[in-house]
Amino acid sequence: MKEFANKTVFITGAAKGQGRAVSLAFAKEGANIIAFDLGKKLTYPVYNDGSTDALVKLKSDIEALGAKAYIYAGDVRNAADIQNAVNGGVKEFGGIDVLFNNAGICAYGYSHELTEAEWDSMIDINLKGAWLAGKYIIPVMRNQKSGVIINNSSVGGLRGMNRLSHYAASKWALVGLTKSWTLENTEYGIRVISLHPTGVNTPMNDGLAFMEGATPEEIAVRSAGNLIPVPWIEPEDVADSVLFLCSDKAKYITGSQYVLDAGLLTR
């Protein structure tokens, strides 16, 4: 039997990048996928040409693997969207066993030059969105007396970052959220972990590079120097770690920070 057969996984920011890779990895292992993203409303600059509804494509790809998918196009900052997606997914599959809080954005700017709107957008998507997903999914997991929550942070959640203060603040906050949720929910059989990847080879890097007038590879080298063997790790590397952390092999891992950085934080 496949490892996650009959389990249900809720993934935010599911349509592209890390979210897509994690969705497909769980689907290969037999899980039902509740995929939440902006869908046709996806507006991240540069990489979205509007030619494909990425959520619909993801659903098709999941079903081609023999798994089931429930998709919801919404905004993680909107409580009603999250609640409706959770309710619809639970109605479809009966429960939620895993939450991968993945939705996030990244943009450069010196702290003193950021607008209030830029600060609010970063915190609302990266932090409030994760909290809202937990707000509506944790009661489902408590009722089941089981569940795993992976909050996708960053190496930026463990160190300072030049011209990324708002991003780092949002990712550090996920560590506090992870530890607090652990204290609140361990007695209900819920494990909570924050994941801290280094730069991941996703379409978001195209937007960041465009802002800098550079290539994604040049941006990676600026960030990591020559320390790591490749400019970016791949989304599938993140997916492998997520599946391990959600498996019974990791049943004693909770409340901690799982680092996937190719040695970056040894600097």
Taking the domains of the chain in order of start, what are their residue ranges? 8-266
pLDDT tens-place values along the chain, 267 residues long: 799 999 999 999 999 999 999 999 999 999 999 999 986 544 443 334 443 488 999 999 999 999 999 999 999 999 999 999 999 999 999 999 999 999 999 888 899 999 999 999 999 999 999 999 999 999 999 999 999 999 999 999 999 988 889 999 999 999 999 999 999 999 999 999 999 998 777 766 665 655 666 666 666 666 555 445 555 789 999 999 999 999 999 999 999 999 998 887 877
Residue positions annotated with a catalytic role: 167
> In this predicted structure, what is the pLDDT of residue 229?
54
| CATH code for the structural domain at 8-266 | 3.40.50.720
**Cβ contacts of 262 within 8 Å, gap of 6 or more:** 198, 224, 227, 228, 229, 230, 233
d(CA 239, CA 234): 9
> In this predicted structure, what is the pLDDT of residue 10?
98
Alpha-carbon distance values, 120 to 5, 14, 78, 136, 185 (Å):
39, 22, 14, 22, 28
**Cβ contacts of 105 within 8 Å, gap of 6 or more:** 44, 121, 122, 125, 126, 204
Is 158 in contact with 205 (CB distance < 8 Å)? no
**CA contacts within 13 A on the Cβ side of 223:** 31
> In this predicted structure, what is the pLDDT of residue 53?
85
> In this predicted structure, what is the pLDDT of residue 43?
44
> In this predicted structure, what is the pLDDT of residue 164?
87
> In this predicted structure, what is the pLDDT of residue 47?
35
Alpha-carbon distance values, 92 to 11, 61, 86, 87, 95 (Å):
15, 19, 10, 9, 8
> In this predicted structure, what is the pLDDT of residue 89?
98
> In this predicted structure, what is the pLDDT of residue 199?
79
> In this predicted structure, what is the pLDDT of residue 176?
98
